[in-house]
Structure 1
Protein backbone atom coordinates (compact mmCIF):
# COMPACT_ATOMS: atom_id res chain seq x y z
CA UNK A 1 0.00 0.00 0.00
CA UNK A 2 1.39 3.39 -0.99
CA UNK A 3 1.07 6.03 1.74
CA UNK A 4 2.08 8.64 -0.88
CA UNK A 5 -1.33 8.42 -2.57
CA UNK A 6 -3.49 11.39 -1.57
CA UNK A 7 -7.19 10.53 -1.22
CA UNK A 8 -9.94 13.16 -1.08
CA UNK A 9 -13.13 12.56 0.91
CA UNK A 10 -15.99 14.95 0.17
CA UNK A 11 -18.90 15.58 2.55
CA UNK A 12 -21.93 17.70 1.59
CA UNK A 13 -23.87 18.98 4.60
CA UNK A 14 -26.92 20.98 5.59
CA UNK A 15 -28.22 21.65 9.12
CA UNK A 16 -26.97 18.42 10.75
CA UNK A 17 -24.00 19.61 12.76
CA UNK A 18 -24.10 16.78 15.31
CA UNK A 19 -24.20 14.09 12.65
CA UNK A 20 -21.60 15.97 10.62
CA UNK A 21 -19.21 15.90 13.59
CA UNK A 22 -19.53 12.11 13.76
CA UNK A 23 -18.97 11.82 9.99
CA UNK A 24 -15.82 13.96 10.08
CA UNK A 25 -14.47 12.10 13.12
CA UNK A 26 -14.87 8.81 11.25
CA UNK A 27 -12.65 10.20 8.49
CA UNK A 28 -9.92 11.89 10.54
CA UNK A 29 -9.45 8.64 12.50
CA UNK A 30 -8.93 6.51 9.39
CA UNK A 31 -6.01 4.08 9.54
CA UNK A 32 -4.86 5.57 6.22
CA UNK A 33 -3.62 9.07 7.01
CA UNK A 34 -2.76 10.71 3.67
CA UNK A 35 -6.20 12.20 3.12
CA UNK A 36 -7.88 15.49 2.29
CA UNK A 37 -11.35 16.20 3.68
CA UNK A 38 -13.56 18.71 1.86
CA UNK A 39 -16.84 19.70 3.51
CA UNK A 40 -19.30 21.86 1.57
CA UNK A 41 -22.01 23.54 3.64
CA UNK A 42 -25.29 24.35 1.90
CA UNK A 43 -26.15 27.47 3.94
CA UNK A 44 -26.74 25.81 7.31
CA UNK A 45 -28.22 27.82 10.17
CA UNK A 46 -27.50 25.43 13.04
CA UNK A 47 -23.92 26.38 13.90
CA UNK A 48 -22.34 24.21 11.19
CA UNK A 49 -20.24 27.06 9.81
CA UNK A 50 -18.80 27.93 13.21
CA UNK A 51 -18.07 24.24 13.86
CA UNK A 52 -16.23 23.90 10.55
CA UNK A 53 -14.10 26.99 11.17
CA UNK A 54 -13.09 25.66 14.57
CA UNK A 55 -12.37 22.04 13.58
CA UNK A 56 -10.31 23.09 10.55
CA UNK A 57 -7.93 24.94 12.88
CA UNK A 58 -6.90 21.66 14.48
CA UNK A 59 -6.40 19.57 11.35
CA UNK A 60 -4.86 20.97 8.17
CA UNK A 61 -6.35 18.11 6.18
CA UNK A 62 -9.86 19.59 6.65
CA UNK A 63 -11.03 22.19 4.15
CA UNK A 64 -14.50 23.64 3.80
CA UNK A 65 -16.60 25.78 1.48
CA UNK A 66 -19.54 27.89 2.67
CA UNK A 67 -22.11 28.43 -0.06
CA UNK A 68 -23.88 31.77 -0.32
CA UNK A 69 -27.07 30.23 -1.69
CA UNK A 70 -28.74 26.89 -1.00
CA UNK A 71 -28.30 24.73 -4.10
CA UNK A 72 -28.67 21.12 -3.00
CA UNK A 73 -26.36 18.18 -2.34
CA UNK A 74 -25.34 17.61 -5.98
CA UNK A 75 -24.04 21.14 -6.30
CA UNK A 76 -22.16 20.74 -3.00
CA UNK A 77 -20.56 17.48 -4.13
CA UNK A 78 -19.47 19.04 -7.41
CA UNK A 79 -17.84 22.00 -5.62
CA UNK A 80 -15.80 19.56 -3.55
CA UNK A 81 -14.91 17.44 -6.61
CA UNK A 82 -13.70 20.42 -8.62
CA UNK A 83 -11.48 21.56 -5.72
CA UNK A 84 -10.13 18.11 -4.85
CA UNK A 85 -6.36 17.59 -4.99
CA UNK A 86 -6.36 13.85 -4.29
CA UNK A 87 -5.48 11.38 -7.01
CA UNK A 88 -8.45 9.30 -5.84
CA UNK A 89 -11.70 10.47 -4.33
CA UNK A 90 -14.70 9.08 -2.47
CA UNK A 91 -17.76 10.56 -0.77
CA UNK A 92 -19.55 10.46 2.57
CA UNK A 93 -23.04 11.71 3.38
CA UNK A 94 -23.11 13.79 6.55
CA UNK A 95 -25.47 11.40 8.37
CA UNK A 96 -23.37 8.30 7.59
CA UNK A 97 -19.88 7.32 8.70
CA UNK A 98 -16.82 5.26 7.79
CA UNK A 99 -15.36 2.32 9.63
CA UNK A 100 -11.67 2.96 10.48
CA UNK A 101 -10.21 0.87 7.63
CA UNK A 102 -12.33 2.11 4.72
CA UNK A 103 -9.72 4.15 2.84
CA UNK A 104 -6.92 1.68 3.62
CA UNK A 105 -9.08 -1.11 2.21
CA UNK A 106 -9.60 0.71 -1.08
CA UNK A 107 -5.97 1.78 -1.50
CA UNK A 108 -4.63 -1.69 -0.69
CA UNK A 109 -6.84 -3.20 -3.40
CA UNK A 110 -5.73 -0.85 -6.18
CA UNK A 111 -2.80 -3.04 -7.27
CA UNK A 112 -5.15 -5.99 -7.85
CA UNK A 113 -7.81 -4.15 -9.86
CA UNK A 114 -5.92 -2.14 -12.47
CA UNK A 115 -8.57 -2.55 -15.17
CA UNK A 116 -11.55 -1.31 -13.17
CA UNK A 117 -12.86 2.27 -13.40
CA UNK A 118 -14.17 2.40 -9.85
CA UNK A 119 -14.29 0.35 -6.65
CA UNK A 120 -17.11 -0.07 -4.17
CA UNK A 121 -18.06 -2.34 -1.30
CA UNK A 122 -21.13 -3.26 0.75
CA UNK A 123 -22.98 -0.86 3.07
CA UNK A 124 -23.86 -1.66 6.67
CA UNK A 125 -27.38 -0.51 7.52
CA UNK A 126 -27.96 1.09 10.93
CA UNK A 127 -31.64 0.94 11.87
CA UNK A 128 -31.34 1.35 15.64
CA UNK A 129 -28.55 1.72 18.20
CA UNK A 130 -25.98 -0.34 16.34
CA UNK A 131 -25.11 -1.15 12.72
CA UNK A 132 -25.87 -4.73 11.70
CA UNK A 133 -24.90 -6.89 8.75
CA UNK A 134 -27.86 -9.26 8.51
CA UNK A 135 -27.57 -12.78 7.15
CA UNK A 136 -30.08 -11.89 4.42
CA UNK A 137 -27.99 -8.88 3.32
CA UNK A 138 -24.83 -10.99 3.26
CA UNK A 139 -26.54 -13.54 1.01
CA UNK A 140 -27.86 -10.84 -1.34
CA UNK A 141 -24.45 -9.18 -1.53
CA UNK A 142 -22.87 -12.54 -2.38
CA UNK A 143 -25.29 -12.87 -5.30
CA UNK A 144 -24.39 -9.49 -6.80
CA UNK A 145 -22.13 -9.52 -9.87
CA UNK A 146 -18.53 -8.67 -8.98
CA UNK A 147 -17.97 -6.62 -12.13
CA UNK A 148 -20.64 -4.02 -12.77
CA UNK A 149 -20.99 -2.43 -16.20
CA UNK A 150 -23.34 0.35 -17.29
CA UNK A 151 -25.96 -2.10 -18.58
CA UNK A 152 -26.13 -3.78 -15.16
CA UNK A 153 -27.24 -0.53 -13.52
CA UNK A 154 -30.38 -0.55 -15.66
CA UNK A 155 -31.44 -3.63 -13.70
CA UNK A 156 -30.41 -2.44 -10.24
CA UNK A 157 -28.10 0.01 -8.49
CA UNK A 158 -25.67 -2.72 -7.49
CA UNK A 159 -23.02 -0.10 -6.68
CA UNK A 160 -24.82 1.99 -4.06
CA UNK A 161 -24.25 5.64 -3.19
CA UNK A 162 -20.44 5.86 -2.88
CA UNK A 163 -17.46 4.77 -4.97
CA UNK A 164 -13.67 5.03 -4.90
CA UNK A 165 -12.49 6.48 -8.20
CA UNK A 166 -9.75 8.54 -9.83
CA UNK A 167 -10.57 12.22 -9.30
CA UNK A 168 -9.74 13.11 -12.90
CA UNK A 169 -12.35 10.65 -14.17
CA UNK A 170 -15.08 12.05 -11.92
CA UNK A 171 -14.17 15.58 -13.00
CA UNK A 172 -14.00 14.67 -16.70
CA UNK A 173 -17.57 13.34 -16.82
CA UNK A 174 -19.12 16.21 -14.90
CA UNK A 175 -19.67 14.77 -11.45
CA UNK A 176 -23.29 14.68 -10.30
CA UNK A 177 -26.16 15.99 -12.41
CA UNK A 178 -28.07 18.54 -10.32
CA UNK A 179 -31.03 18.28 -12.72
CA UNK A 180 -31.69 14.79 -11.36
CA UNK A 181 -34.22 15.10 -8.48
CA UNK A 182 -32.92 11.77 -7.11
CA UNK A 183 -30.91 8.77 -8.43
CA UNK A 184 -27.97 11.17 -8.76
CA UNK A 185 -25.60 8.42 -7.68
CA UNK A 186 -26.73 5.69 -10.08
CA UNK A 187 -26.89 8.21 -12.95
CA UNK A 188 -23.35 9.38 -12.20
CA UNK A 189 -21.97 5.81 -12.15
CA UNK A 190 -23.90 4.93 -15.31
CA UNK A 191 -22.62 8.05 -17.09
CA UNK A 192 -19.01 7.19 -16.21
CA UNK A 193 -19.24 3.50 -17.09
CA UNK A 194 -21.11 3.99 -20.35
CA UNK A 195 -18.63 6.64 -21.52
CA UNK A 196 -15.49 4.76 -20.48
CA UNK A 197 -16.72 1.30 -21.46
CA UNK A 198 -15.22 0.08 -18.18
CA UNK A 199 -16.60 -1.59 -15.10
CA UNK A 200 -16.91 -1.11 -11.36
CA UNK A 201 -15.44 -3.79 -9.11
CA UNK A 202 -17.19 -4.97 -5.95
CA UNK A 203 -14.97 -5.70 -2.95
CA UNK A 204 -16.09 -8.27 -0.42
CA UNK A 205 -15.93 -5.85 2.50
CA UNK A 206 -18.16 -3.72 4.74
CA UNK A 207 -16.69 -0.31 5.62
CA UNK A 208 -19.52 2.23 5.19
CA UNK A 209 -22.41 2.68 7.64
CA UNK A 210 -25.70 4.03 6.26
CA UNK A 211 -27.54 5.47 9.24
CA UNK A 212 -31.33 5.24 8.92
CA UNK A 213 -31.93 5.42 12.66
CA UNK A 214 -32.13 9.20 13.04
CA UNK A 215 -35.27 11.29 12.54
CA UNK A 216 -33.77 13.81 10.12
CA UNK A 217 -34.41 13.54 6.38
CA UNK A 218 -31.71 11.84 4.35
CA UNK A 219 -30.03 13.90 1.62
CA UNK A 220 -31.86 11.89 -1.06
CA UNK A 221 -35.17 11.35 0.76
CA UNK A 222 -37.52 9.51 -1.61
CA UNK A 223 -40.85 10.73 -2.94
CA UNK A 224 -42.56 8.84 -5.74
CA UNK A 225 -43.05 11.91 -7.95
CA UNK A 226 -39.35 12.72 -7.63
CA UNK A 227 -38.67 9.12 -8.61
CA UNK A 228 -40.78 9.34 -11.74
CA UNK A 229 -39.13 12.61 -12.75
CA UNK A 230 -35.67 11.08 -12.16
CA UNK A 231 -36.64 8.12 -14.33
CA UNK A 232 -37.67 10.43 -17.17
CA UNK A 233 -34.50 12.54 -16.85
CA UNK A 234 -32.29 9.45 -16.87
CA UNK A 235 -34.03 7.88 -19.85
CA UNK A 236 -33.90 11.06 -21.92
CA UNK A 237 -30.32 12.01 -21.05
CA UNK A 238 -28.95 8.60 -22.02
CA UNK A 239 -31.35 7.95 -24.92
CA UNK A 240 -32.47 4.62 -23.47
CA UNK A 241 -34.36 2.24 -25.70
CA UNK A 242 -37.97 1.50 -24.84
CA UNK A 243 -36.95 -1.87 -23.41
CA UNK A 244 -34.20 -0.41 -21.24
CA UNK A 245 -36.55 2.33 -20.05
CA UNK A 246 -39.06 -0.30 -18.95
CA UNK A 247 -36.35 -2.19 -17.12
CA UNK A 248 -35.12 0.96 -15.39
CA UNK A 249 -38.69 1.77 -14.35
CA UNK A 250 -38.75 -1.47 -12.36
CA UNK A 251 -36.38 0.17 -9.87
CA UNK A 252 -39.30 2.32 -8.70
CA UNK A 253 -41.30 -0.76 -7.69
CA UNK A 254 -39.70 -0.96 -4.26
CA UNK A 255 -41.15 2.45 -3.39
CA UNK A 256 -44.71 2.05 -4.63
CA UNK A 257 -46.20 -1.35 -5.44
CA UNK A 258 -49.03 0.35 -7.41
CA UNK A 259 -46.49 0.96 -10.17
CA UNK A 260 -45.79 -2.73 -10.72
CA UNK A 261 -46.40 -4.11 -14.21
CA UNK A 262 -45.74 -7.74 -15.05
CA UNK A 263 -44.31 -7.12 -18.53
CA UNK A 264 -41.06 -5.41 -17.50
CA UNK A 265 -40.56 -7.95 -14.71
CA UNK A 266 -40.69 -10.88 -17.12
CA UNK A 267 -38.51 -8.92 -19.54
CA UNK A 268 -35.88 -8.69 -16.80
CA UNK A 269 -35.77 -12.46 -16.59
CA UNK A 270 -35.72 -12.90 -20.35
CA UNK A 271 -32.98 -10.34 -20.95
CA UNK A 272 -30.64 -11.48 -18.23
CA UNK A 273 -31.14 -14.36 -15.83
CA UNK A 274 -29.23 -14.39 -12.60
CA UNK A 275 -30.31 -15.47 -9.14
CA UNK A 276 -30.42 -11.99 -7.65
CA UNK A 277 -32.71 -10.63 -10.36
CA UNK A 278 -34.85 -13.77 -10.08
CA UNK A 279 -35.28 -13.26 -6.31
CA UNK A 280 -36.09 -9.58 -6.78
CA UNK A 281 -38.63 -10.52 -9.45
CA UNK A 282 -40.33 -13.00 -7.13
CA UNK A 283 -40.51 -10.30 -4.46
CA UNK A 284 -42.11 -7.85 -6.89
CA UNK A 285 -44.56 -10.45 -8.14
CA UNK A 286 -45.52 -11.16 -4.52
CA UNK A 287 -46.17 -7.44 -3.96
CA UNK A 288 -48.19 -7.29 -7.18
CA UNK A 289 -50.56 -10.12 -6.27
CA UNK A 290 -50.81 -9.01 -2.63
CA UNK A 291 -52.29 -5.63 -3.59
Structure 2
Protein backbone atom coordinates (compact mmCIF):
# COMPACT_ATOMS: atom_id res chain seq x y z
CA UNK A 1 0.00 0.00 0.00
CA UNK A 2 1.26 3.49 -0.81
CA UNK A 3 -0.33 4.68 2.43
CA UNK A 4 2.96 3.81 4.15
CA UNK A 5 5.15 5.51 1.54
CA UNK A 6 6.31 9.11 1.58
CA UNK A 7 6.53 9.10 -2.21
CA UNK A 8 3.49 10.69 -3.80
CA UNK A 9 2.20 9.33 -7.06
CA UNK A 10 -0.06 10.22 -9.95
CA UNK A 11 -1.91 7.44 -11.72
CA UNK A 12 -2.64 8.59 -15.27
CA UNK A 13 -5.48 6.80 -17.02
CA UNK A 14 -6.90 7.33 -20.50
CA UNK A 15 -10.54 6.38 -21.00
CA UNK A 16 -12.81 5.96 -23.98
CA UNK A 17 -16.08 4.02 -23.87
CA UNK A 18 -14.81 1.84 -21.04
CA UNK A 19 -17.88 1.78 -18.81
CA UNK A 20 -18.13 -2.01 -18.98
CA UNK A 21 -14.57 -2.48 -17.65
CA UNK A 22 -13.45 0.57 -15.73
CA UNK A 23 -15.08 -0.11 -12.37
CA UNK A 24 -12.97 -3.24 -11.78
CA UNK A 25 -9.80 -1.35 -12.62
CA UNK A 26 -10.63 1.58 -10.35
CA UNK A 27 -11.42 -0.83 -7.52
CA UNK A 28 -7.95 -2.31 -7.91
CA UNK A 29 -6.17 1.07 -7.95
CA UNK A 30 -7.89 3.34 -5.44
CA UNK A 31 -7.23 1.19 -2.32
CA UNK A 32 -3.50 1.44 -3.09
CA UNK A 33 -3.46 5.25 -3.09
CA UNK A 34 -2.82 7.46 -0.10
CA UNK A 35 -4.92 10.54 0.53
CA UNK A 36 -2.10 12.61 -1.01
CA UNK A 37 -1.92 10.66 -4.27
CA UNK A 38 -4.05 11.41 -7.31
CA UNK A 39 -5.82 9.55 -10.08
CA UNK A 40 -5.76 11.64 -13.25
CA UNK A 41 -8.28 10.51 -15.85
CA UNK A 42 -8.43 11.93 -19.36
CA UNK A 43 -11.55 10.90 -21.25
CA UNK A 44 -11.72 11.09 -25.04
CA UNK A 45 -15.41 12.04 -25.15
CA UNK A 46 -16.92 8.66 -24.29
CA UNK A 47 -20.50 8.05 -25.39
CA UNK A 48 -21.31 4.96 -23.30
CA UNK A 49 -21.77 6.53 -19.86
CA UNK A 50 -18.09 6.39 -18.83
CA UNK A 51 -17.85 10.16 -18.32
CA UNK A 52 -21.06 10.36 -16.31
CA UNK A 53 -19.92 7.47 -14.12
CA UNK A 54 -16.59 9.20 -13.49
CA UNK A 55 -18.25 12.52 -12.66
CA UNK A 56 -20.36 10.80 -10.03
CA UNK A 57 -17.35 8.95 -8.60
CA UNK A 58 -15.36 12.18 -8.39
CA UNK A 59 -17.93 13.66 -6.00
CA UNK A 60 -17.13 10.81 -3.59
CA UNK A 61 -13.34 10.76 -3.92
CA UNK A 62 -11.28 13.98 -4.13
CA UNK A 63 -8.21 12.06 -5.32
CA UNK A 64 -9.90 11.67 -8.72
CA UNK A 65 -9.23 14.52 -11.15
CA UNK A 66 -11.05 14.50 -14.47
CA UNK A 67 -10.12 16.06 -17.80
CA UNK A 68 -11.53 15.74 -21.29
CA UNK A 69 -9.44 15.18 -24.37
CA UNK A 70 -10.38 16.52 -27.78
CA UNK A 71 -11.31 13.15 -29.30
CA UNK A 72 -7.79 12.80 -30.69
CA UNK A 73 -7.04 9.15 -29.94
CA UNK A 74 -5.14 7.13 -27.37
CA UNK A 75 -1.70 8.79 -27.64
CA UNK A 76 -3.07 12.32 -27.21
CA UNK A 77 -5.38 11.08 -24.46
CA UNK A 78 -2.51 9.69 -22.39
CA UNK A 79 -0.44 12.82 -23.12
CA UNK A 80 -3.26 14.94 -21.73
CA UNK A 81 -3.41 12.89 -18.53
CA UNK A 82 0.37 13.01 -18.08
CA UNK A 83 0.41 16.77 -18.62
CA UNK A 84 -2.16 17.28 -15.84
CA UNK A 85 -0.28 15.17 -13.26
CA UNK A 86 1.41 16.87 -10.29
CA UNK A 87 3.21 14.16 -8.29
CA UNK A 88 6.85 12.98 -8.64
CA UNK A 89 6.12 9.41 -9.78
CA UNK A 90 3.64 8.66 -12.57
CA UNK A 91 1.96 5.30 -13.11
CA UNK A 92 0.19 4.69 -16.41
CA UNK A 93 -3.07 2.77 -16.42
CA UNK A 94 -5.36 1.34 -19.06
CA UNK A 95 -9.08 1.52 -18.34
CA UNK A 96 -9.77 -2.18 -18.71
CA UNK A 97 -7.00 -3.96 -16.78
CA UNK A 98 -6.83 -4.96 -13.12
CA UNK A 99 -3.84 -4.25 -10.89
CA UNK A 100 -2.44 -6.63 -8.32
CA UNK A 101 -3.05 -5.21 -4.82
CA UNK A 102 0.67 -4.66 -4.21
CA UNK A 103 1.60 -3.12 -7.56
CA UNK A 104 2.55 0.32 -6.25
CA UNK A 105 4.30 -1.13 -3.21
CA UNK A 106 6.42 -3.41 -5.41
CA UNK A 107 7.42 -0.75 -7.96
CA UNK A 108 8.25 2.31 -5.85
CA UNK A 109 11.47 0.94 -4.25
CA UNK A 110 13.13 0.75 -7.66
CA UNK A 111 13.05 4.55 -7.87
CA UNK A 112 15.38 4.76 -4.86
CA UNK A 113 18.11 4.32 -7.46
CA UNK A 114 18.57 7.81 -8.97
CA UNK A 115 19.60 6.27 -12.31
CA UNK A 116 16.18 4.67 -12.73
CA UNK A 117 13.80 6.75 -14.80
CA UNK A 118 11.25 4.14 -15.88
CA UNK A 119 10.13 0.85 -14.32
CA UNK A 120 8.19 -1.68 -16.38
CA UNK A 121 6.59 -4.67 -14.67
CA UNK A 122 5.52 -7.93 -16.23
CA UNK A 123 1.84 -8.63 -17.03
CA UNK A 124 -0.48 -11.62 -17.12
CA UNK A 125 -2.48 -11.51 -20.35
CA UNK A 126 -6.09 -12.56 -19.80
CA UNK A 127 -9.35 -12.59 -21.71
CA UNK A 128 -12.54 -10.76 -20.82
CA UNK A 129 -13.33 -13.33 -18.11
CA UNK A 130 -9.76 -13.29 -16.73
CA UNK A 131 -8.86 -16.69 -18.14
CA UNK A 132 -5.10 -16.68 -18.70
CA UNK A 133 -4.02 -16.38 -22.33
CA UNK A 134 -0.32 -15.82 -21.62
CA UNK A 135 1.13 -16.12 -18.09
CA UNK A 136 3.95 -13.69 -18.84
CA UNK A 137 4.02 -10.81 -21.32
CA UNK A 138 7.78 -10.53 -20.93
CA UNK A 139 8.33 -14.20 -21.76
CA UNK A 140 6.05 -13.91 -24.78
CA UNK A 141 7.89 -10.84 -26.05
CA UNK A 142 11.37 -12.13 -25.09
CA UNK A 143 11.88 -8.89 -23.20
CA UNK A 144 15.37 -7.47 -22.89
CA UNK A 145 16.58 -4.13 -21.60
CA UNK A 146 18.32 -1.75 -23.95
CA UNK A 147 17.49 1.04 -26.37
CA UNK A 148 18.29 -0.72 -29.65
CA UNK A 149 16.59 -3.98 -28.76
CA UNK A 150 13.39 -2.15 -27.85
CA UNK A 151 13.55 0.09 -30.88
CA UNK A 152 13.35 -3.08 -33.00
CA UNK A 153 10.89 -4.92 -30.75
CA UNK A 154 9.42 -2.76 -28.02
CA UNK A 155 8.61 -4.17 -24.59
CA UNK A 156 7.80 -0.75 -23.13
CA UNK A 157 4.20 -1.52 -22.27
CA UNK A 158 2.25 1.29 -20.63
CA UNK A 159 0.04 -1.02 -18.58
CA UNK A 160 3.10 -2.00 -16.55
CA UNK A 161 4.93 1.33 -16.67
CA UNK A 162 5.83 3.91 -14.03
CA UNK A 163 8.23 6.82 -14.51
CA UNK A 164 9.62 9.94 -12.90
CA UNK A 165 7.66 13.13 -13.47
CA UNK A 166 10.93 14.87 -14.37
CA UNK A 167 10.68 13.00 -17.68
CA UNK A 168 7.66 15.14 -18.59
CA UNK A 169 10.05 17.87 -19.73
CA UNK A 170 11.43 15.60 -22.43
CA UNK A 171 8.40 13.38 -23.11
CA UNK A 172 5.86 16.15 -23.73
CA UNK A 173 4.54 16.94 -26.21
CA UNK A 174 4.27 13.41 -27.59
CA UNK A 175 4.56 13.45 -31.40
CA UNK A 176 1.43 12.22 -33.12
CA UNK A 177 3.51 10.03 -35.45
CA UNK A 178 5.18 7.81 -32.83
CA UNK A 179 3.90 4.20 -32.79
CA UNK A 180 2.64 4.49 -29.19
CA UNK A 181 3.10 6.71 -26.15
CA UNK A 182 4.72 3.97 -24.03
CA UNK A 183 7.36 3.23 -26.67
CA UNK A 184 8.15 6.95 -26.87
CA UNK A 185 8.57 7.27 -23.09
CA UNK A 186 10.67 4.12 -22.87
CA UNK A 187 13.02 5.04 -25.72
CA UNK A 188 13.66 8.52 -24.34
CA UNK A 189 14.47 7.13 -20.89
CA UNK A 190 16.50 4.21 -22.23
CA UNK A 191 18.62 6.55 -24.33
CA UNK A 192 20.48 7.10 -21.04
CA UNK A 193 19.97 3.52 -19.79
CA UNK A 194 17.28 4.60 -17.37
CA UNK A 195 14.76 1.75 -17.84
CA UNK A 196 14.40 -1.22 -15.49
CA UNK A 197 12.27 -4.26 -16.40
CA UNK A 198 11.10 -6.22 -13.38
CA UNK A 199 9.75 -9.80 -13.45
CA UNK A 200 6.84 -9.20 -11.06
CA UNK A 201 3.50 -9.84 -12.80
CA UNK A 202 1.57 -6.93 -11.39
CA UNK A 203 -1.25 -6.43 -13.89
CA UNK A 204 -3.99 -8.55 -15.40
CA UNK A 205 -3.76 -7.23 -18.96
CA UNK A 206 -7.19 -7.82 -20.42
CA UNK A 207 -7.73 -8.43 -24.15
CA UNK A 208 -11.34 -8.35 -25.28
CA UNK A 209 -11.55 -7.11 -28.86
CA UNK A 210 -12.29 -3.50 -27.92
CA UNK A 211 -8.80 -2.53 -26.81
CA UNK A 212 -7.27 0.67 -28.13
CA UNK A 213 -3.89 -1.02 -28.65
CA UNK A 214 -2.56 -4.28 -30.05
CA UNK A 215 -0.16 -6.78 -28.48
CA UNK A 216 1.10 -7.97 -31.84
CA UNK A 217 0.94 -5.53 -34.71
CA UNK A 218 -0.68 -6.51 -37.98
CA UNK A 219 1.35 -3.93 -39.91
CA UNK A 220 3.69 -5.03 -42.69
CA UNK A 221 7.44 -5.29 -42.12
CA UNK A 222 7.95 -2.25 -44.34
CA UNK A 223 5.49 -0.23 -42.25
CA UNK A 224 7.10 -1.43 -39.02
CA UNK A 225 10.53 -0.38 -40.30
CA UNK A 226 9.17 3.05 -41.23
CA UNK A 227 7.66 3.47 -37.74
CA UNK A 228 10.91 2.53 -36.05
CA UNK A 229 13.05 4.71 -38.27
CA UNK A 230 10.70 7.59 -37.63
CA UNK A 231 10.75 6.92 -33.88
CA UNK A 232 14.56 6.93 -33.87
CA UNK A 233 14.68 10.27 -35.67
CA UNK A 234 12.10 11.78 -33.33
CA UNK A 235 13.98 10.58 -30.24
CA UNK A 236 17.27 12.02 -31.49
CA UNK A 237 15.57 15.30 -32.38
CA UNK A 238 13.92 15.59 -28.94
CA UNK A 239 17.19 14.79 -27.13
CA UNK A 240 18.95 17.55 -29.08
CA UNK A 241 16.15 20.02 -28.33
CA UNK A 242 16.32 19.32 -24.62
CA UNK A 243 20.12 19.64 -24.52
CA UNK A 244 19.86 23.10 -26.10
CA UNK A 245 17.57 24.39 -23.32
TM over 0.5: yes
Tell me, yes or no, if structure 1 residue 220 matches structure 2 residue 213.
yes
Deviations 1:58-77 (A, max 9, x none): 1111011123x311111111
Q: Which residue of 2 aligns with 1:104?
A: 105
Partner Cα distance (1:64, 1:170) in 2: 19
Q: Residue 41 of structure 1 is aligned with which of 34, 43, 52?
A: 43
Alignment of 1:113-152 (within 5 A): 113-127=113-127, 129-130=129-130, 132=132, 137=136, 140=139, 144-145=143-144, 148-152=145-149
Q: Which residue of 1 aligns with 2:240?
A: none
Alpha-carbon shift at residue 201 of structure 1 (Å): 1.1
Alpha-carbon shift at residue 37 of structure 1 (Å): 0.3
Alpha-carbon shift at residue 229 of structure 1 (Å): 4.4
TM-score by length of 1: 0.69
Q: Aligned pair in 2 of structure 1 residues 10, 231: CA closer, same or farther (>3 Å)?
A: farther
Alpha-carbon shift at residue 231 of structure 1 (Å): 3.9
TM-score by length of 2: 0.81
Q: Residue 196 of structure 2 is aligned with which of 197, 201, 204?
A: 201
Are the counterparts in 1 of residues 75 and 180 from structure 2 also a CA contact under 8 Å?
no
Partner Cα distance (1:12, 1:103) in 2: 18
Unmatched segments (≥5 aa) in structure 1: 241-291
Alignment of 1:44-55 (within 5 A): 44-55=46-57
Q: Which residue of 1 aligns with 2:161?
A: 163
Q: Which residue of 2 aligns with 1:74?
A: 75
Are the counterparts in 2 of residues 10 and 38 from structure 1 also a CA contact under 8 Å?
yes
Are the counterparts in 2 of residues 149 and 193 from structure 1 also a CA contact under 8 Å?
yes
Are the counterparts in 1 of residues 13 and 41 from structure 2 also a CA contact under 8 Å?
yes
Unmatched segments (≥5 aa) in structure 2: 235-245
User: Per the alignment, in what secondary structure is the counterpart of residue 43 of structure 1?
Assistant: coil
